[in-house]
Amino acid sequence: MTAKIIDGKQVAADIRAELKDEVAGLAKQGIVPGLGVILVGDDPASHSYVTAKERACEELGIYSEDNRLPAETTQDELMALVGKMNADPRINGILVQLPLPKHMNESEVLFGIDPAKDVDGFHPVSVGKMVVGEETFLSCTPHGVLHLLLRSGVTIEGSHVVIVGRSNIVGKPLANMLVQKSSTGNATVTVCHTRTKDLAEHTRQADILVAAVGRPNTITADMVQDGVAVIDVGVNRVDDATKKRGYRLVGDVDFEAVKEKASLITPVPGGVGPMTITMLMVNTVESAKRAAGIG
């Protein structure tokens, strides 16, 4: 079997086209959704993610405010900026790009964001609501994975989903979303991590396999069963002298080999990545509607 390649760019473009119409409709009512972005330090990958988020805002007609701060920024200065954005009515969503520099207390920053503007879904109030199945902002990457599965026609209910990686950004929230008693959940979920004994024994049982560890070639062809649907969340830079920039991006999955056994697979780049930014836009528009009392 050779897998169908899930085109995340296309799925994201479809959702963004719907969203653009919605933003245009809101503009007629005088409502312009706004996203406040904060990036501390000079991590090149973070800078390119934030640039892509700002471009997406521009493309959709969402107001965005760019705050790129030096690595030496203090915790107090960052908290003050978050507080300012919490109080700013033009800002409906606040995004603090992670990771923060080592001297900063990430939890304090994320907990300082008004949950009503927590479009990343990282605040404990948002996480808690998600776990108990209440409506809230869902974290963008796992929410994007869910939409990719749904729009690709993958059956989630009753499927065995194996997630490799237990981060707060992807593995843990995705496991919670898929296990919910709901029309987009009802899966049986296994979460694997660095202390899992015999990873391959688990991954071979997956109907849907999600790799989110941040290490190339973590999932090889011998670790999957025929017909599996594979979602590769990893984004890793590997040296490549044939590229002008000296590297290329790969996921966590050995794409070329695994695609020969899978029924569906996402590429890197062009799979989950475009969905993450799109779900951030979806959450920002949703927040603006709630703030205007029409959500």
Q: Any contact of residue 35 with ligand GUN (CB under 6 A)?
A: no
Query: CA Rg, the chain, in Å?
Result: 19
Q: Where are the alpha helices (DSSP H) in the chain?
A: 8-28, 44-60, 75-87, 106-112, 124-131, 140-151, 171-179, 199-203, 255-258, 273-291
Part in contact with ligand GUN (CB under 6 A); list of ranges 14-22, 93-101, 207-215, 216-224: 93-101
The distance of closest approach from Cβ of residue 97 to ligand GUN in the complex, given in angstroms and rounded to an integer, is: 5
Candidates 6, 15, 39, 140; binder of ligand GUN (CB under 6 A) is 140
Question: What phi and psi values does residue 281 have, to the nearest 5 degrees?
Answer: -65, -40
Give me the catalytic one of 53, 117, 259, 261: 53
Q: Which two tokens stand for residue 190?
A: 């296994």
Q: Which two tokens stand for residue 113?
A: 């964001």
Can 120 be counted among the known catalytic residues?
Answer: yes
Part in contact with ligand GUN (CB under 6 A); list of ranges 28-36, 94-102, 150-158, 219-227: 94-102
**How far apart are alpha carbons 271 and 251 in whole angstroms?**
10
Q: Any contact of residue 276 with ligand GUN (CB under 6 A)?
A: yes
| Residues 144 to 183 in contact with ligand GUN, rule: CB under 6 A | 169
**How far apart are alpha carbons 34 and 63 in whole angstroms?**
4
The distance of closest approach from Cβ of residue 140 to ligand GUN in the complex, given in angstroms and rounded to an integer, is: 5
Give Cβ neighbours of residue 25 (< 8 Å, ≥ 6 apart). none
Candidates 62, 78, 96, 230; binder of ligand GUN (CB under 6 A) is 96
The distance of closest approach from Cβ of residue 235 to ligand GUN in the complex, given in angstroms and rounded to an integer, is: 9
**Active centre residues (catalytic):** 53, 97, 120
Binding site for ligand GUN (CB under 6 A): 95-98, 120, 140-141, 169, 276
